[in-house]
Amino acid sequence: MTVFLQSVISGILVGGIYALIGIGLTIIFGVMRVINFAHGDLLMLGMYTTWLVFSRLGIDPFVSVVITGPVLFLWGAFLQKTFINRVLNALPQNQILLTIGLGLIMSNSIMLMFTSDYRILTTTYSSSSFSLGGISISEPLLVGFLITAAITGALYWFLLRTDTGQAIRATAQDRDAAQLMGINVQAMSVLAFGIGSALAGVAGALISPTYYIFPQVGSTFTLKAFVIVVLGGMGSVIGATLGGLIIGVTESLSAVYIASGLKELVVFVLFLGLLLFKPSGLLGKTRA
């Protein structure tokens, strides 16, 4: 039972960061209906930004989210205004090819600047843990989870309680109707892509102390983000949160009870199984 509880708690802590990645992607899709295949590369930029401010300025990775978030927000807003906005009404395959191209440009640019060598962000607490009732809890994962929970709570409040947040939700529900009601849907699109990029960057900062940093790391998280979003329901922020936690716990349990090398396979089997019975995801709604 101790091993089981240990696996579940570890999975929840990791799943919280996964959820943050998924929330960023689902906000972009919900508002713009753009499938962003560069999402993982935005996370990769967040990891490298965190590594730079840590190695050059000595700023703690968890503190660096106040730098990484705004930097990635501005970068995401620039990408949307300059590139993504031009294909909003284009064919889906054109949108996919554009975001894939942007992701390749970002990852290869980082490779040119920093080479393809793996970077390790080592802090005094990177491998620290404490025992609670016989269960070992990783300190960096716990701190990362708490920061994720705070950011997610603030995002929910922003979307539900502020005029701008309600405008974003209205644009996501019906873009044309929102425009008729006087909402600047172009500005909401820029804001949504910026927020999604910032969340990806913050997730990269939070995962940096426990994960290798290299230019191609984004592809792994792009695929995982899509599994999380589709699992929870495309466009559902709560669904993305739930999907991230499910993926985290599934990976942790699979690594312990099956094999660490097969945890990704188990996740995809679960994902495909759910799609067979509920194609719209756990909290998604089937569109007419």
Residue 243 domain-assigned?
A: no
Rounded Cα distance, 195 and 201, in Å: 10
pLDDT in tens, the chain (288 residues): 788 888 899 999 999 999 999 999 999 988 888 889 999 999 999 999 999 999 999 999 999 999 999 999 999 999 999 999 988 888 888 989 999 999 999 999 999 999 999 998 888 887 888 887 778 888 999 999 999 999 999 999 999 999 999 999 998 888 889 888 899 999 999 999 999 999 999 999 999 988 899 999 998 899 889 889 888 877 788 888 999 999 999 999 999 888 888 888 888 888 888 878 887 777 765 544
CA 287: distance to chain centroid? 24
Count of structural domains within the chain: 1
Rounded Cα distance, 185 and 176, in Å: 9
How many CB atoms neighbour CB 185 within 10 A? Answer: 19
Helix count (H) and strand count (E) of the chain? 11, 2
Cα dist from 17 to 161, 209, 214, 222, whole Å: 24, 13, 19, 14
Residue 87 domain-assigned?
A: yes
Residue 235 domain-assigned?
A: no
How many CB atoms neighbour CB 72 within 10 A? Answer: 28
Per the CB < 8 A criterion, the answer to whether 248 and 231 are in contact is no
Beta-bridge partners for 131: 136
Q: Tell me, what amino acid is at 63?
A: V
Residue 278 domain-assigned?
A: no
Q: Which residue segment(s) compose the domain that 211 sits in?
A: 2-222
Per the CB < 8 A criterion, the answer to whether 195 and 167 are in contact is no
How many CB atoms neighbour CB 275 within 10 A? Answer: 13
Residue 254 domain-assigned?
A: no
Residue 71 domain-assigned?
A: yes
Residue 282 domain-assigned?
A: no
Residue 40 domain-assigned?
A: yes
192 Cβ partners below 8 Å, 6+ apart? 27, 28, 30, 31, 32, 168, 171, 172
How many CB atoms neighbour CB 149 within 10 A? Answer: 14
Retrieve residue 250's tokens. 């599934």
